[in-house]
Amino acid sequence: MKIQFLHGNDRFEADLSQPIDLSIPLREGMQNPNCFWAPPVDFSPVVAGDFVGSTARGGVVNFFNVRFNPHGNGTHTECVGHIARERYVLRECLTAHHFMAKLVSLFPRKTEDGDRVIFRDQLEEVLEEKGVKALIIRTLPNDDLKMRCNYSGANPPYLHQEAATFLVEMGIEHLLLDLPSVDREEDGGALLAHRAFWQYPDAVRAHCTITEMIYVPNPVKDGLYLLNLQTASFDLDVSPSKPVIFRVDEVDKGL
């Protein structure tokens, strides 16, 4: 199925039969990306009297309980409720699900203290034009270890607060990246990039989201895509998510 859509004054075409899934499967056990010492994912069948919710154990159906931490166990999308004292719920903040997105690939730069950071000037080089609402950051080097890496205690790369401020200035409302957090793993609770991106608490951008721990396969080229950001309707600040992108072709320019 192919669709055409307007973005500003330009018409684009996308083939919906060719999705590119950026989410990481949520598996039982340790074969998931994990951060901030979250417990491993657990799938366990319901047992009640003679009933066992597992066909492998003789039950008539599979009927499993699932235990996981959305922020710590895999691909997830969060709203400002993640850091706010006030109640913000993702399903109420994220009310649109399709966006024009730009995918960029960047090497985090090493600082004098050994941190690896994405800085404002790096984003200024790859995000020159306004208009896209979502930015997808693939950090380099890139390999499928990101699909099962335990980031806890590893001080993974993060986003400088001025880089987050630049995204606000450029009108980016949805940030997606393959890191466990936009902020330093241990920052004393400052959460500078989170606060800068959501402009909390002074001018809260409640409709904006951050999606972490995605994986962008190497064959997917940098450029413009149509993003479909899929989440579950948990009554929380966060949900496991499935960001899917579609290649776009420009059909008519400046209609």
Q: Give the Cα separation of 89 and 117 in Å (integer).
A: 29
Domains in the chain, ordered, with CATH? Answer: 2-33+70-252 (3.50.30.50)
pLDDT band at 130 (very low <50, low <70, confident <90, very high): confident
Q: What is the pLDDT of residue 254?
A: 60
Q: How far is CA 48 from CA 43, 53, 66, 67, 124, in A?
A: 16, 9, 16, 18, 58
Residue with tokens 């913000």, as numbered in its chain = 88
* pLDDT exceeds 80 at position 222: yes
Residue 194 is predicted with a pLDDT of: 98
pLDDT recorded at residue 129:
79
- Show the CA angle centred on residue 148, arms to residues 248 and 146, nearest 5°: 45
Task: State the distance between the two ends of the chain, measured CA to CA, in whole angstroms.
Answer: 23
Residue 255: pLDDT above 60? no
Give percent of the chain above pLDDT 70.
99
Quote the DSSP letter at residue 29.
B
Query: Token pair for residue 189?
Result: 């609770």
pLDDT digits (tens, 9 = 90+) for 153-195: 999 999 999 999 999 999 999 999 999 999 999 999 999 999 9
pLDDT digits (tens, 9 = 90+) for 65-101: 999 999 999 999 999 999 999 999 999 999 999 999 9
**Per-residue confidence band for 227, with pLDDT thresholds at 50, 70 and 90:** very high
User: What dihedral do alpha carbons 90, 93, 98, 103 form, nearest 10°?
Assistant: -70
Under 8 Å between Cβ of 100 and 92: no
pLDDT score for 196: 98
Task: Note the residue count of the chain.
Answer: 255
Query: Within 13 Å and on the Cβ side, how many CA atoms surround 108?
Result: 23
The residues pairing with 209 across neighbouring beta strands, listed in sequence order, are 174
What per-residue confidence (pLDDT) applies to 87? 97
E strand or H helix at 4? strand 2-7
Selection from 149, 122, 152 nearest residue 137 by Cα: 122
DSSP code, position 49: T
* Mode of pairing for the β-strands spanning 76-78 and 238-252: antiparallel
The CA distance from 164 to 195, in Å, is 9
Q: Has residue 252 got a pLDDT over 90? A: no
For residue 253, pLDDT over 80 is answered with no
Decide: residue 222, CB within 10 A, 0-12 exposed, 13-18 middle, 19+ buried: middle
